[in-house]
């Protein structure tokens, strides 16, 4: 098999850990696989460099930041290659440039546009372990760019796609994707497999493990992703296309998002296009609106409720206040003490009763559902935040996710 | 004027010092000059990275070392460019690659083959301060190379040559070139100007300031070099071609080299080619032979004396022992308690009596001269090490170098 293995900052956090990574890579190579390793900077290193830059300027120039920040991954890649060579392996360290990673011009947040895998393929054909500095590429002018948060994961997935690797293993300090947050429900179970779409919907479970940007790219490039821990030999979770999961469970996991706020608009003026006006203005202010409910009250006035991330609340209020000031909205209220509980599973496409069970679980636990939104593979409910844990445990139990 | 300014590791040793460098560069720019800055890694950084590599392997692979070590200069160059931008200057940081520095394939000790100054020139024409990561280039395959010890100085000199800069200023923690080591002779005086050839002969004085490799390149490219300190506004020493020094002093300086050992071969067999055999074998063993004296003793036996750096003594002994074992040399002896005192000055080309004064100074001080070697601009004498200071002070006085 051709395997791309990506090790994050914690996994290469010091020299001993880099040696541990070398041992693990060595085992995979000895097992007969072709290996490309993608590494992050040693943990703390990137923040240290950012701190240096911010000592000089609040908003340092982005091309300079890319030249600065790309140094950390070069160090780790060189050291890992040296460690592997010392263990008797043929290994070669490559910068993003040498690995053929070409990005757009968006310094510090570049998108990978293309990978020319020629150099990597030649090294692999020579039997070498290829060690690539993650997080970086070059734009068409040949200037170094970096890929932003989660960038090394993106490097790994894109390389796996370009090389048509059999597997892309993302090593972190978390052992895989769980049916729900084990800190809330100790009976949470690690999933063996999960589909790309479910993973995207379970973002709040997986965010610490894998950013949606990487999952989306894996889906697009049809890369079999595995998240697993670098601190033990425990098997991880395979994220793959739905067809590869033989018996998809009805429900795969329960996600909890505490980072939501509810905005209620009362007495919205009854004129055509008013809702469109409000949400267009919100979009222009870059407010991420999630769920929306509109209803007519008994007195004929229209009420609109919607949710936004807490971090967008301030900007959202500014937009709403404008409509209030010109009298198009009578009153507004805000509630940060809410959360969103979601039931996710591709199985619910073909099975009925999944939603009913979710609602009845809330009822049994005396939890009032404020808002509901559904997609093909997800049911989301907004509830008071104080019921978050009870709701998660109740749903985990109801769908027998511990089995 | 177009000025290349190079700042070594101590000058950029921490964030405050980088800011000081930015202030100094800013002043030069405001004075109306075009500026290219070449920087080393922050002091200690390169050694830290070497330490990391040696944690994994005694002899880490050189391409990996180049990728590793080139990271340090990228960091400094980025930070300095950010600092200059924050001060309101247009600045741009460049890697060795972007600055157009192409080297041979000799990883970790590459030689600069060519510099394409197009990108630097474009930036200068846009009024930008160009900040280049020293010590690094790329080979023809585009792989990063580093230039070995003193590499950032070489980068600066080569860039100054390629850009036809008016001046190449090398900033260190030493304020310039002195007539002799001020720790031995407190009356030592800083030289305003010195020729390339004198500087090369005074290597032992200047070694801490400037390696011969850089001076040779400056001579070849006709670059006006200035060494000065980054810690004050004190003027430094200009190293330039002889024609630029109007009234060359008879003697420019007194150099002392304690790092010499004398090897005496007694009763060398009287056959044609024996000396050639011995010194060929020494050369093959990479022993640097400096001075050689051959003489016939009264009994007709040939004696050969020569000096080598102390660090080459062990290898030299091995070679000599072989000749002793086959009876071609009767006896050998070694003396590490010697030193070499040199009087250097282009003026002695056209003036007589310089050597005589050196010898009489030794005589006045009751110092026995073991060996003598002369070149057009240098007289070297090997004496017992215990007389080193007396000899240096005596010569400094005799040639009135404090005036």
So what's the pLDDT on residue B208? 65
d(CA A195, CA A215): 10
DSSP state of B178: B
* Predicted ipTM of the assembly: 0.83
- A156: contact with B, CB 8 A cutoff: no
Q: Residue B173 pLDDT > 90, yes or no?
A: no
Check CB contact under 8 Å for B81 and A92: no
End-to-end alpha-carbon separation of chain B, Å? 32
- B50: contact with A, CB 8 A cutoff: no
**Nearest CB neighbour to A56, from listed B55, B74, B82:** B82
- B299: contact with A, CB 8 A cutoff: no
So what's the pLDDT on residue B15? 97
Which one has a higher pLDDT value, A251 or B300? A251
Percent of the residues in chain B that have a pLDDT greater than 70, as a whole number? 99
Give φ, ψ of B48 to 5 degrees. Answer: -60, -45
Interface test mutation site (partner A, options B69, B79, B80, B146, max chain A beta carbons within 10 A): B79
pLDDT range class, residue B294, cuts 50, 70, 90 = confident
Average confidence score pLDDT of chain B: 93
pLDDT digit string, tens, across residues B137-153: 999 999 999 999 889 99
Which chain A residues are Cβ-neighbours of B67 within 8 angstroms? 74, 77-78, 93, 95
Q: How far is B75 from chain A (nearest CA, A)?
A: 5
So what's the pLDDT on residue A231? 87
Which chain A residues are Cβ-neighbours of B93 within 8 angstroms? 63-64, 67
Interface test mutation site (partner B, options A82, A87, A90, max chain B beta carbons within 10 A): A82
Sign of CA dihedral A215, A221, A223, A229: negative
Averaged pLDDT for residues B39-68: 96
| Residue B236 CB contacts under 8 Å (≥ 6 apart), including other chains | B169, B175, B176, B226, B227, B228, B229
- A297: contact with B, CB 8 A cutoff: no
Which chain B residues are Cβ-neighbours of A81 within 8 angstroms? 61, 64
- B92: contact with A, CB 8 A cutoff: yes
Check CB contact under 8 Å for A64 and B57: no
- Can you read off the two tokens belonging to residue B85? 């931008």
Enter the CATH code of domain A2-172.
3.40.1160.10
So what's the pLDDT on residue A202? 86
Give φ, ψ of B174 to 5 degrees. Answer: -115, 140
Which one has a higher pLDDT value, B247 or A49? A49
**Nearest CB neighbour to B82, from listed A64, A75, A144:** A64
For residue A82, the chain B residue with the least C-alpha distance is: B60
- Can you read off the two tokens belonging to residue A272? 């055509």
- B14: contact with A, CB 8 A cutoff: no
Which chain A residues are Cβ-neighbours of B73 within 8 angstroms? none
Residues A100-137 as b or e (16 or more Cβ within 10 Å = b): bbbbeeebbebbbeebebebbbebbeeebbbbbbbbbb
Which chain B residues are Cβ-neighbours of A70 within 8 angstroms? 74
Check CB contact under 8 Å for B77 and A67: yes
For residue A94, the chain B residue with the least C-alpha distance is: B67
Check CB contact under 8 Å for B75 and A144: no
So what's the pLDDT on residue A207? 53
Q: How far is A333 from chain B (nearest CA, A)?
A: 43
Find tokens 């003594």 and name the residue: B313
One-letter-per-residue 3-state SS of chain A? CEEEEEECCCCCCCHHHHHHHHHHHHHHHHCCCEEEEEECCCCCHHHHHHHHHHHHCCCCCHHHHHHHHHHHHHHHHHHHHHHHHHCCCCEEEECCCCCCEEECCCCCCCCEEEECCHHHHHHHHCCCEEEEECCEEECCCCCEEECCCCHHHHHHHHHHHHCCCCEEEEEECCCCCECCCCCCCCCCCECCEEEHHHHHHCHHHHCCCCCHHHHHHHHHHCCCEEEEECCCCCCCEEEECHHHCCCCCCCCEEEEEEEEEEEEEEEECCCCCHHHHHHHHHHHCCCCCCCEEEEECCCCCEEEEEEEEHHHHHHHHHHHHHHHHCCCEEEEEEEEEEEEEEEECHHHHCCCCHHHHHHHHHHHCCCCCCEEEEECCEEEEEEEHHHHHHHHHHHHHHCCCCC
- B72: contact with A, CB 8 A cutoff: yes
- A119: contact with B, CB 8 A cutoff: no
So what's the pLDDT on residue A190? 93
So what's the pLDDT on residue A272? 83
Check CB contact under 8 Å for A81 and B71: no
- Could you tell me how many helices (H) and strands (E) chain B has, helices first? 12, 18
- A62: contact with B, CB 8 A cutoff: no
pLDDT digit string, tens, across residues A49-68: 999 999 999 999 999 999 99
**Nearest CB neighbour to A67, from listed B18, B52, B78:** B78
d(CA B133, CA A347): 56
Q: Residue B204 pLDDT > 90, yes or no?
A: no
So what's the pLDDT on residue B206? 53
| Residue B276 CB contacts under 8 Å (≥ 6 apart), including other chains | none
Which chain A residues are Cβ-neighbours of B86 within 8 angstroms? 56-57, 60
DSSP state of B57: -
- Residue pair A84/A100 in contact by the 8 Å Cβ criterion: no
Q: pTM of the full predicted structure?
A: 0.85
Check CB contact under 8 Å for B56 and A98: no
- B95: contact with A, CB 8 A cutoff: yes
**Nearest CB neighbour to B79, from listed A53, A79, A98:** A53
Q: How far is B168 from chain A (nearest CA, A)?
A: 24
pLDDT range class, residue B207, cuts 50, 70, 90 = low
Q: Residue B160 pLDDT > 90, yes or no?
A: yes
Least Cα distance to B78 among A52, A103, A58, A148 occurs for: A52
| Mean pLDDT, chain A cut into blocks of 10 residues (403 residues total) | 96 96 97 97 94 96 96 97 98 97 95 96 98 97 92 96 97 90 92 93 70 92 95 93 82 92 92 90 92 80 91 94 94 94 89 89 94 90 95 95 90
- B20: contact with A, CB 8 A cutoff: no
Interface test mutation site (partner A, options B68, B73, B91, max chain A beta carbons within 10 A): B68
Fold of B254-398: VC0802-like (3.30.2130)
User: Which of A229-238, A290-299, B44-53, B340-349 is predicted with the least confidence, judged by mean pLDDT?
Assistant: A290-299
So what's the pLDDT on residue A13? 94
Which chain B residues are Cβ-neighbours of A119 within 8 angstroms? none
So what's the pLDDT on residue B273? 87
- B87: contact with A, CB 8 A cutoff: no
Q: How far is B200 from chain A (nearest CA, A)?
A: 36
- B71: contact with A, CB 8 A cutoff: yes
Check CB contact under 8 Å for A71 and B68: no
So what's the pLDDT on residue A243? 84
**Nearest CB neighbour to B60, from listed A64, A82, A142:** A82
**Nearest CB neighbour to B67, from listed A22, A57, A77:** A77
**Nearest CB neighbour to B52, from listed A56, A68, A79:** A79
Q: Residue B221 pLDDT > 90, yes or no?
A: yes
Q: Where are the domains of chain A?
A: 2-172, 254-398
The number of beta carbons lying within 10 Å of the beta carbon of residue A347 is 18
Average confidence score pLDDT of chain A: 93
Counted residue by residue, chain A has a size of 403
Considering only the C-alpha atoms of chain B, give the largest distance between any 2 of them, rounded to a whole number of Å. 80
Check CB contact under 8 Å for A57 and B142: no
So what's the pLDDT on residue A376? 86
């Amino acid at each position: 098999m051709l395997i791309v293995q990506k090790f994050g900052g914690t996994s290469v956090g010091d020299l001993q850990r880099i040696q541990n990574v070398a041992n693990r890579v060595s085992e995979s190579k000895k097992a007969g696989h072709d290996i490309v390793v993608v590494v992050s900077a040693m943990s703390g290193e990137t923040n240290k460099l950012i701190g240096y830059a911010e000592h000089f300027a609040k908003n340092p120039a982005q091309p300079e930041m890319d030249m600065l920040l790309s140094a950390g991954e070069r160090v780790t890649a060189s050291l890992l290659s040296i460690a592997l060579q010392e263990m008797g392996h043929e290994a070669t360290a490559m910068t993003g440039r040498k690995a053929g990673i070409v990005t757009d011009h968006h310094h510090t947040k570049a998108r990978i546009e293309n990978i020319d895998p020629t150099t990597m393929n030649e090294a692999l054909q020579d039997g070498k372990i290829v060690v690539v500095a993650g997080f970086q590429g070059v734009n068409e002018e040949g200037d170094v760019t970096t890929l932003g948060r989660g960038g090394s994961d993106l490097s790994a997935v894109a390389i796996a796609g370009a090389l048509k690797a059999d597997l892309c293993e993302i090593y972190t300090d978390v052992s895989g994707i769980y049916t729900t947050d084990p800190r809330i429900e100790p009976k949470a179970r690690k999933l063996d497999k999960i589909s790309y779409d479910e993973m995207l919907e379970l973002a709040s479970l997986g965010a610490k493990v894998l950013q949606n940007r990487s999952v989306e790219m894996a889906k697009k490039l049809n890369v079999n992703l595995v998240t697993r821990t670098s601190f033990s030999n425990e098997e991880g979770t395979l994220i793959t296309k739905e067809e590869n999961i033989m018996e998809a469970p009805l429900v795969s996991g329960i996600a909890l998002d505490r980072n939501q706020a509810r905005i209620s608009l009362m007495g919205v003026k009854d004129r055509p296009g008013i809702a469109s006006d409000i949400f267009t203005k919100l979009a222009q202010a870059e407010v991420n609106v999630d769920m929306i409910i509109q209803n007519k009250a008994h007195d004929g006035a229209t009420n609109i409720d919607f949710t936004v991330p807490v971090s967008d609340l301030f900007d959202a209020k500014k937009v709403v206040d404008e409509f209030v000031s010109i009298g198009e909205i009578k009153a507004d209220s805000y509630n940060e003490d809410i959360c969103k509980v979601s039931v996710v599973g591709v199985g619910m496409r073909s099975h009925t009763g999944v939603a009913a069970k979710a609602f009845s679980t809330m009822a049994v636990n005396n939890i009032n559902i404020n808002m509901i939104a559904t997609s093909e593979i997800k049911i989301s409910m907004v509830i008071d935040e104080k019921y978050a844990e009870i709701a998660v445990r109740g749903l985990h139990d109801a769908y027998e996710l511990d089995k």
